[in-house]
Amino acid sequence: MVNETVLPRYSICTLLTDKALYQQMLESFVQAGFASDITEYLYIDNSITNAADAYSGINEFLRMAKGRYIIICHQDIVLVNHNLAQLENCIAELNKLDPQWALLGNAGGKSLGGLSLRLTDPHGDNNTGGFPVKVQSLDENFILVRKDANLGTSRDLDGFHLYGFDLCFMAAMRGYSAYVVDFHIHHLSPGKISQDFINSRSRIIGKYQQLFSGRFFRTTCTSFYLSGNAMLNSILNHPRIINWLEEVYQRFGW
State pLDDT tens for residues 200-251: 889 888 888 777 778 787 776 788 788 878 898 899 889 889 888 888 877 7
Higher pLDDT, 159 or 254: 159
Q: In what order do the strands lie in the sheet with 39-45?
A: 39-45, 10-16, 69-73, 142-146, 101-105, 177-180, 133-134
In sequence order, the 6+-apart residues with CB closer than 8 A to the CB of 183 are 82, 86, 87, 90, 104, 106, 118, 142
pLDDT digits (tens, 9 = 90+) for 34-86: 999 999 999 999 999 999 999 999 999 999 999 999 999 999 999 988 999 99
Mean pLDDT, range 14-36, rounded to an integer: 97
Cα–Cα separations (whole angstroms), residue 54 to 63, 72, 158, 164: 14, 10, 7, 10
Sign of the four-CA dihedral 62, 63, 67, 73: negative
Q: What percent of the chain has pLDDT over 90?
A: 67
Contacts of 66 (CB under 8 A, 6+ apart): 7, 8, 11, 40
**Share of residues in the chain with pLDDT > 70 (%):** 96
> Rounded to an integer, what is the distance from CA 41 to the centroid of its chain?
19
> For 175-202, how does the pLDDT look when each residue is reduced to its tens digit (9 = 90+)?
999 999 999 999 998 877 788 888 888 9
Strands 114-121 and 185-187: parallel
Which range among 19-28, 137-146, 173-182, 186-195 shows the weakest confidence by mean pLDDT? 186-195
Flag whether pLDDT at 22 surpasses 80.
yes
- The per-residue pLDDT for 221 is 72
What is the spatial distance between Cα 141 and Cα 219, in angstroms, rounded to a whole number? 41
pLDDT at 118: 96
